Structure 1
Amino acid sequence: MSWIGGKKSLRELIVSLFPLYYERYIEVFGGGGWVLFHKPPGNDFEVYNDFNGLLTNLYRCVREKPNELIDALYFVLNSREDFDIVKKSLARDSPTSDVIRASYFYQLIRYSYASGLTSYGSQPHDMWSNFPLIEQAHRRLSKVVVENKDFEKLIRQYDRPVSFFYADPPYFETEKYYKNVGEDGFKKEDHIRLRDTLMGIEGKFLLSYNDCSFIRELYDAPNIQIESYTRINNIKQRYDNGAQFPEILVANYDMHEREINSPSQINLFEMKNGIGKQEGIYNEND
């Protein structure tokens, strides 16, 4: 699902840097769920959280009432008039049920410009092509706990030595882009509060942010690892083709422990030179 600040382009990298061992996975700022849906389910206990109540209601309806949600979306029209009607209805908090509220919100996401929820996108998207995705998401979310909490309360509630938190907060000094998705109250003090909360946990955390001096200084501490990456800047891409956006990943563990502990691959050259034979892998009759 398209979403402001979504991690579609970085999800592969992020999941590859998860710690080698954990029993609880908690996604603190869930948003569009790109990382959660890319992550293999495994046997760990999973939590999706977001401060936006409309978003968490949508995910609960996908998990608990997928057929009712699809029925509510079946006759939706991709039109400016319908878009304005559901937008005003949600602003008044007038939908009569959780499913209707979820269908209205999903319509805004699907048909708004850049998923900003404010203006009609005028794109020829149909709703029916998303029904199989709703059914797939229903199956993936079947054992996921969906929370709608402030990040500090959530982290303190689920923190254990075996907990792993992935946090993707509104980026520093770009909070204006999140004003329509429930994060308009995220201030400089909240970035500091997030740092203080994460630095005091028993478990592990991985944090994604924009690369700036303020955030680097916040997490400049012993045993904290910071690595920089770039991705395509979707906002500037419209008028500056190939524009890159610098980001950092911050963790309180070695982000490359999976790579370090993965079995080394033996290539064909090594096998022909007897290395594979010594390891009991190479068969002379092959």
Structure 2
Amino acid sequence: MLGSARRFKPNSETEDVPLRSRKRVQGSRAVEAALNTGDLLTNPADPRRIKAALPANHPGRRVRESIRVNQRQAKPIAPYLGGKRNLAQRVCRIIDANEHTTYAEPFVGMGGIFLRRRYPAKSEYINDLNGEVYTLFRVLQEHYVAFLDLLRFQITTQQNFNRLLQVDPDTLTDLQRAARFLYLQRCAFGGKVTGRSFGVSADRPARFNLTTLEPDLEALHSRLSGVTVMRLDFGSFIQRIDRSETLFYLDPPYWGSEEDYGRGSFSRERFGELADQLSGIRGRFLLSINDVPEIREMFSWAHQSPVRTSYSVARAGRGATASELLISNFYPGGESSLA
């Protein structure tokens, strides 16, 4: 009949429920299904909708408390020895799945894991004993515009690379020191920190080009807002940041490659110190390192997951597989702690 409205016939699950409430119920069920199946790791919903949809006493609501809206994606601005590009997806999935309000990295390097996590924590601390790394991050945080001006007329030449390589960084201002380090790391072969040589690739453009680099610098500058940058020995850093709600990710030098980051920067004896300290912390930790018998023995008390990955320090060796260990004081799926 013209002008008559078709009456909605509710089903048994939504009978006598207003349309707006029905949509909320259906949304809650979709979120419940995603939480129960783990789909949020690969196809995450907006955390604000998740929090609003779940009942107050639902465990999934508490698990997502520290998760905010997807951050603007930043990425490492230079290669760095030991970068975790090929292992990052697995490591970040474990980190994102485990509840924490504080995130901390004692060996941040160029931030290969820190920057690839899907969500930031409520409070974040990054640390590196390397003065070049520390200065670069601090300058990007506090003096971004002046830093860009200093980089603006740099070009990629082997002569400029060799000249900067001979400069003592201790004689430079913080801005100059950060610019020198960034230039050398982007132009060096394999992201090496010591024994650098000028990298040449026939299939790629100049390694230092501010036109293409500036958007990455801008993204990193924005991402570092609210992040505490420190330069401490790993032991002091862990002791200072350790809380029950802290999650540490550790990427120390590989066993057998301790001197690759500079003479005296990390000795083999310190692996034992690291294992002893981590065995007594209140928070959680996830550590990645090469799979060798000595490391397995030192961390025999912890959960160990061997994984296959590939190293690409040299293009000639790209694709070569290697075995690493993911070591933690919790089960990587996040079910329960070993402590």
| TM bracket (short chain) | 0.7 to 0.9
Secondary structure at the aligned position of 1:188 is classed as coil
Give 2:283's aligned residue: 203
Aligned with residue 170 of structure 1, among 241, 250, 253: 253
Give 1:226's aligned residue: 304
Give 2:217's aligned residue: 134
Q: Tell whether 2:339 aligns with 1:257.
A: no
Give 1:114's aligned residue: 190
Give 1:13's aligned residue: 90
How far is 1:258 from its partner? 6.9
Give 1:60's aligned residue: 138
1:46-57 alignment, distance < 5 Å: 46-57=124-135
Give 1:102's aligned residue: 178
Give 2:269's aligned residue: 189
How far is 1:254 from its partner? 1.3
* Equivalent AA in structure 2 for residue 68 of structure 1: A
Q: Is the deviation greater in 208-217 or in 185-194? A: 185-194
1:89-116 alpha-carbon deviations (Å, 9 max, x no partner): 2x25221x21111101111111111122
Query: Cα RMSD over matched residues?
Result: 1.9
Please say which structure displays the higher CA radius of gyration: 2
Q: Tell whether 2:237 aligns with 1:154.
A: yes
Distance 1:136 1:100 in 2: 21
* Equivalent AA in structure 2 for residue 198 of structure 1: L
Give 2:228's aligned residue: 145
Higher relative contact order (CA 8 A, sep 6+): 1
Q: Tell whether 2:328 aligns with 1:246.
A: no
Q: Is the deviation greater in 60-69 or in 128-137? A: 60-69
* Equivalent AA in structure 1 for residue 110 of structure 2: G
Going from structure 1 to structure 2, the CA distance change for 1:258 and 1:8 (only over 3 Å counts) comes to farther
How far is 1:42 from its partner? 3.4
Distance 1:51 1:4 in 2: 15
Paired residues, number: 251
**Equivalent residues of 1:73, 1:127 under 8 A apart:** no
Distance 2:335 2:145 in 1: 39
Give 2:42's aligned residue: none
Give 1:2's aligned residue: 79
Going from structure 1 to structure 2, the CA distance change for 1:20 and 1:235 (only over 3 Å counts) comes to closer
1:182-231 alpha-carbon deviations (Å, 9 max, x no partner): x743112100011111111111100001001000000111xx21001111
**Equivalent residues of 1:17, 1:258 under 8 A apart:** no
Q: Which segments of 5 or more consecutive residues in structure 2 lack a partner in the other structure?
A: 1-77
How far is 1:12 from its partner? 1.2
1:54-94 alpha-carbon deviations (Å, 9 max, x no partner): 111001111112221111111112112211222222x2522
Going from structure 1 to structure 2, the CA distance change for 1:92 and 1:203 (only over 3 Å counts) comes to closer
Going from structure 1 to structure 2, the CA distance change for 1:45 and 1:215 (only over 3 Å counts) comes to same
Distance 2:177 2:327 in 1: 36
Q: Tell whether 2:118 aligns with 1:40.
A: yes
Distance 1:93 1:25 in 2: 31
**Equivalent residues of 1:54, 1:102 under 8 A apart:** yes
**Equivalent residues of 1:41, 1:140 under 8 A apart:** no
Distance 2:207 2:234 in 1: 34
Secondary structure at the aligned position of 1:220 is classed as coil
How far is 1:43 from its partner? 4.4
Distance 1:20 1:210 in 2: 23
* Equivalent AA in structure 1 for residue 150 of structure 2: A
**Equivalent residues of 1:231, 1:246 under 8 A apart:** yes
Distance 2:151 2:161 in 1: 13
Give 2:17's aligned residue: none
Give 2:107's aligned residue: 29
**Equivalent residues of 1:16, 1:258 under 8 A apart:** no
1:221-254 alpha-carbon deviations (Å, 9 max, x no partner): 1xx2100111113247615x63211101000011
